[in-house]
Amino acid sequence: MGITFRKETFRDDFTFKNSPEHIRRFPFPFHEDAYMYAVNIEPHVVGPKGSVLENLIDVDEHYVAEMQDRALVLAEDPLRCQSLPHMTLAGWDLLELLMEQQALGYPEHFTLTRDGDRWRWINRPLGIDDTFTFGDTSTLPYGPMEYITRQSQGDFCILDQRDGNLWMDAGMVTTQADWSLDFDIGMNFFEWHAPVPLAHEKGIFVRALKFLTNIQQGKPARRLNWTMTINPRLDTSPENYHKWGPDRATVTPENVGDKVHLRVELQSFWRLPRSNGIVFPIRCYLIKMDELVTQPKWARRLHRVIRDLPDELANYKGLTRYRPALVEWLSKLDDGSATSPGFGPD
């Protein structure tokens, strides 16, 4: 049985919402009642059926709407997709990875057939049926990275490994949490993580870089990251801060449940076979407070996490202005009872 794709928007009238089934599969990022930065990296292996980890590349009910929103962003700002000249081979690596994973996990929606270098790609949800020569950019309407990431949920950064470091030398970034590909393109791992508070002093990024540079082909890894967003807006880029920044001043005790969204990134890391680069998919999931608190464990835990979050992290994540209203709203759903260990709902 195929996925039923929602007709919805992530801007203007904000009609995005999650179905009840999608609420329960949401990747809630807190396994305990407190949060602090850590090297929370684990092997990216297939998880439970019905979860966002059922397939290594997740496609869900928001797929078509997210691809439509990406096309709007790119029409407004083509620099959200950039690839330095030496990264074309890595783009072909990524095209192969995403086509294979989508066709494997969702054969009713995607089909890949290969006859040597002659490939045919069918994407039924988007009405695409293209035949091309693998490795020949002239046979595609875009470069290989842009072609396939216009058809894949989440952002994608391709990192070139050299000089003992990772360099952000290509990417498709239209659903980011307040950072800019155009600013970070060509930076190394420490440079683009420079704004993160507290983690540098703990040596977290030194350990993370050591881990990432040793990732082997066929053994991807993953981690969860999170922040919060007002309204279900995918594009919260610095370039468009004037559109979404003022939203933070619109939160009131009466509209917390509808306006405030937990924004979770499922980040994975894959070694690419030909280029030896690493691709860093950043898959964004959104859930409004009214949806999240249908799971009582999550309501209690989120209240405790946000209440006790260090001020430096609250400021970095942009929560300071509406944090008191959010904590007060969540407190009414926290009876003080214990929460079970782990991420999932009870």
Does 205 have pLDDT greater than 70?
yes
Judged by average pLDDT, the poorest of 167-171, 296-300, 312-316 is 312-316
Sorted by sequence, the CB contacts under 8 Å of residue 324 that are 6+ apart come out as: none
Strand-pairing partners, residue 226, are 264
> How far is it, in rounded angstroms, from Cα 243 to Cα 224?
26
What sign does the dihedral 174-101-41-200 (CA atoms) show?
negative
Does 194 have pLDDT greater than 80?
no
pLDDT of residue 243: 95
Show the tokens assigned to 270: 């894959």
**Average pLDDT of the chain?**
95
Domain boundaries, the chain: 20-331
> How far is it, in rounded angstroms, from Cα 336 to Cα 297?
11
Does 248 have pLDDT greater than 80?
yes
pLDDT of residue 199: 59
Residue 100 pLDDT grade (very low, low, confident, very high; cuts 50, 70, 90)? very high
Residue 115 pLDDT grade (very low, low, confident, very high; cuts 50, 70, 90)? very high
Sorted by sequence, the CB contacts under 8 Å of residue 32 that are 6+ apart come out as: 301, 339, 341
Strand-pairing partners, residue 112, are 121
- Once rounded to an integer, what is the mean pLDDT over residues 244-257? 96
Q: pLDDT (tens digit, 9 = 90+) per residue, 16-49?
A: 999 999 999 999 999 999 998 776 889 999 999 9
The residues that are catalytic are 223
Q: Which long-range contacts (CB under 8 A, 24 or more apart) does 12-16 make?
A: 14/231, 14/232, 14/233, 16/62, 16/65, 16/232, 16/286
- 3-state SS, residue 143: coil
Show the tokens assigned to 127: 């009405």
> How far is it, in rounded angstroms, from Cα 297 to Cα 341?
10
pLDDT of residue 203: 74
